[in-house]
């Protein structure tokens, strides 16, 4: 009898801790989910665009350097997962050494012969800029992203994206938790899906994947 009592107490603690999978009626399963709308692009990627340089994220006045540096790898991983093209990342130290700045904004004047130099050094056919346009690392998390993919040949935009993701939006709250619901190949407990709404890096992973999912198909 004592064993059954202890088992019941343990199960009660598990329930109280929120460690069960979200119910089928939970909004992380049912939605509504956020769908980005502020993007435009070619119907398909240029046939010759096989290698793209991902520049360091430009945080500007919105995010401190250490936060932006942490997001560099988050966005690179999300871009590689899309498998649209080979991704080559330009590191901040290399960017500083070559062009006199640690990152390059999509709206700023480019260094002289910037695109041609990237094509020569890395054999790239495209360059992808990512700027943060808003950043709040505490609840509710906020991350604004402006991204542009430019072809080096012809120097034209192939795709551009501009959205602000705020966890105060119920549709984004649902979408972030849905994103992590089956992370790692298996269902994630409810308290773990909710923790993504407290971590800028984990929130950023959702933001990055949602952003790059709108790239033109191959």
Q: What is the pLDDT of residues 98-131, one digit of tens each?
A: 999 999 999 999 999 999 999 999 999 999 999 9
Separation of alpha carbons 102 and 90, rounded Å:
10
Closest by Cα among 93, 183, 199 to 137: 199
pLDDT at residue 193, rounded to an integer: 72
For residue 105, what are the contacts with CB-CB under 8 A and spacing of at least 6? 58, 60, 129, 131
Strands 51-54 and 39-41: unpaired
pLDDT at residue 16, rounded to an integer: 41
Question: How close are the terminal C-alpha atoms of the chain, in Å?
Answer: 63
Closest by Cα among 198, 156, 188, 169 to 36: 169
pLDDT at residue 18, rounded to an integer: 44
> For the whole model, what pTM was predicted?
0.87
pLDDT in tens, 52-109: 999 999 999 999 999 999 999 999 999 999 999 999 999 999 999 999 999 999 999 9
Q: Please report, for the chain, the start and end positions of each structural domain, with discontinuous segments joined by +.
A: 26-212
pLDDT in tens, 157-200: 999 999 999 999 999 999 999 999 866 445 556 556 778 899 99
């Amino acid at each position: 009898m004592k064993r059954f009592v202890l088992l019941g107490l343990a199960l009660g603690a598990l329930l109280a801790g929120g460690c069960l999978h979200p119910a089928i009626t939970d909004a992380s399963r049912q939605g509504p989910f956020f769908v980005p709308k502020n993007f435009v692009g070619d119907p398909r990627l240029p046939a010759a665009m096989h290698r793209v340089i991902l520049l360091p994220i430009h945080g500007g006045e919105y995010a401190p350097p250490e936060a932006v540096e942490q997001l560099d790898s988050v966005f690179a991983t999300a871009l590689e997962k899309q498998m649209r093209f080979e991704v080559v990342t330009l590191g901040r130290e290399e960017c500083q050494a070559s062009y006199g700045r640690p990152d390059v904004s999509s709206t700023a004047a480019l260094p002289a012969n910037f695109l041609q130099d990237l094509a020569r050094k890395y054999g790239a056919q495209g360059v992808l800029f990512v700027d943060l346009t808003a950043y709040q690392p505490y609840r509710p998390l906020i991350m604004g992203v402006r991204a542009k993919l430019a072809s080096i040949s012809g120097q034209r935009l192939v795709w551009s994206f501009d959205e602000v993701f705020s966890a105060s939006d119920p549709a984004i709250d649902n979408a972030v938790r849905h994103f992590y619901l089956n992370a790692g190949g298996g269902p994630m407990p409810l308290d773990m899906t909710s923790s993504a709404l407290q971590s800028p890096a984990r929130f950023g992973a959702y933001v990055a994947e949602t952003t790059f999912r709108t790239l033109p198909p191959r």
